[in-house]
Chains A and B, each alone.
Chain A
Amino acid sequence: QKEVEQNSGPLSVPEGAIASLNCTYSDRGSQSFFWYRQYSGKSPELIMSIYSNGDKEDGRFTAQLNKASQYVSLLIRDSQPSDSATYLCAVEKTSYDKVIFGPGTSLSVIP
């Protein structure tokens, strides 16, 4: 079983719509969960971190965590063409540990 799984996409949404990205992870002991955005040829850029069950909102982004289901999601409201990128879900077992990345979901926001 892969450690972090995501739908590879591509996911296409019209400008202004809500984009929904999903991720599952296999290690129940994971404690920290992240969403990174990666533009082609660039390094991962952290956009959200979440550590406890529930929702966490930051601007147009909302991360949701359900540890019982081993599920993390990211909602992007009012999607913009500049949001077009690959979104990487990542988990960490303990503080200072390595980050384990999923394969990423490619998002395309159509003007």
Chain B
Amino acid sequence: EPEVTQTPSHQVTQMGQEVILRCVPISNHLYFYWYRQILGQKVEFLVSFYNNEISEKSEIFDDQFSVERPDGSNFTLKIRSTKLEDSAMYFCASRGGEETQYFGPGTRLLVL
């Protein structure tokens, strides 16, 4: 069964450093999303991406965040200058037609 994959599974970084979280969506999917979940809190939407551009972003997705689909398979989330409060699980999701979104296993980001 096709699945969304994410790398790395865990990332530890120092405050102020840049991190890139990588996702490989399901191959024939066209819509891509990033969500995050701070420990003990709900899953929050960050950004959606379609046709090589952002279709919607939340208030969380400020200038420190960016997304990119650098080739036909990867979908990345970059945090330019990490803050302590960026520590969270980051989930990538993708969808094809009108079916629901499929979530990847997540990247646990810890900012020290």
Report yes or no: A95 in contact with B98, Cβ–Cβ below 8 A: yes
CB interface residues, A 18-50, toward B, < 8 Å: 32, 34, 41-46, 49
A101: CB under 8 A from chain B? Answer: yes
Residue interface mask A77-100, B partner, CB < 8 A = 1: 000000000001000100111111
A-chain residues with CB within 8 Å of residue B45 when the two chains form the complex: 98-100
Asked whether B50 lies within 8 Å of A44 as measured between CB atoms, the reply is: no
Binds A, one of B11-19, B70-78, B99-107: B99-107
A88-B105 contact given A44-B91, A46-B100, A96-B50, CB 8 Å threshold = no
The answer for the CA separation of A92 and B101 in the assembled complex, in Å, is 11
The yes or no answer to B87 lying at the interface (CB within 8 A) is no
> In the assembly, what is the distance between CA of A41 and CA of B89, in Å?
8
Contact B43 A88 (CB under 8 A): yes
B48: CB under 8 A from chain A? yes
A63 to chain B, nearest CB (A): 13
CB pair B43 A42 closer than 8 Å? no
Contact B42 A104 (CB under 8 A): yes
Contacts of B89 in A (CB 8 A): 41, 43
Task: Determine if A96 and B95 form an interchain contact, defined as CB atoms under 8 angstroms apart.
Answer: yes
Interface set, chain B 41-96, CB cutoff 8 A to A: 41-45, 48, 50, 55-56, 58, 89, 91, 93, 95
For residue A51, which residue of chain B has the nearest CB?
A: B98
With a CB–CB cut-off of 8 A, which chain B residues contact A41? 89, 108
Given contacts A42-B106, A100-B45, A101-B43, 8 further A-B contacts (CB under 8 A): A32-B100, A43-B91, A44-B91, A88-B42, A96-B50, A97-B56, A98-B56, A103-B42
Q: Which residues of A are at the interface with B, using a C-beta cutoff of 8 A?
A: 32, 34, 41-46, 49, 88, 92, 95-104
